[in-house]
Amino acid sequence: MKGPGPLKVELGRSRLAAAFVFVSHIATASLVAFAPVDAMLRAAAVVAIGAHALRALRTWALQSAARAVVGVEISADRRAVLIERCGRRCEGAVRAESYVGEQFTTLVVRPDGARLSRAVPILRDMLPEEDLRRLRVLLRYGDASTPS
């Protein structure tokens, strides 16, 4: 008997992610700005934090960067395909480190042939409620007998 087909979801932009990125980077830059080190070093660190904030906003919250994950396909055998904005598809295995929570889900995928895994944070406002529920159920109760 054949199992259900893969779950295909499209990730949308997230206001919660944008707020999180903004607040966390402002707090970090504020701490660094008042650190007891040379002023030039503090200024360089604050600029680097600002650049990282822009990259995080484009990649995660606004999903306008080429490497931003805009779609996910997951099958019951814990195989996933990450679809990037540029059209690139990364196929790999869903890792046991993936986290499923009520407000926040992290999908951790190790692409085939790669040494490092790739984490995709998913907030509740990135998907319709029914798609998010199906994704969480599949991640939590999918076939864990296959090695990850």
The helix (run of H) or strand (run of E) holding residue 90 is strand 89-94
Instruction: Tell me the per-residue pLDDT of 129-145, one tens digit each, with 9 for 90 and over.
Output: 999 999 999 888 876 55
Q: What are phi and psi of 46, to 5 degrees?
A: -65, -40
pLDDT reading at 39 higher than 90? yes
- In the chain, the largest separation of any two C-alpha atoms, in whole Å, equals 67
If you average pLDDT over every residue of the chain, what do you get? 90
What's the domain range around 55?
15-61
The total number of structural domains in the chain stands at 2
Instruction: State the Cα–Cα distance between residues 28 and 31, nearest whole angstrom.
Output: 5
Residue 71 to residue 119: CA distance in whole angstroms? 13
pLDDT digits over 94-136, tens only? 999 999 988 899 999 999 999 999 999 999 999 999 999 999 9
110 and 79, same structural domain? yes
Residues 82, 40 share a domain: no
Residues 7/135, Cβ–Cβ less than 8 Å = yes
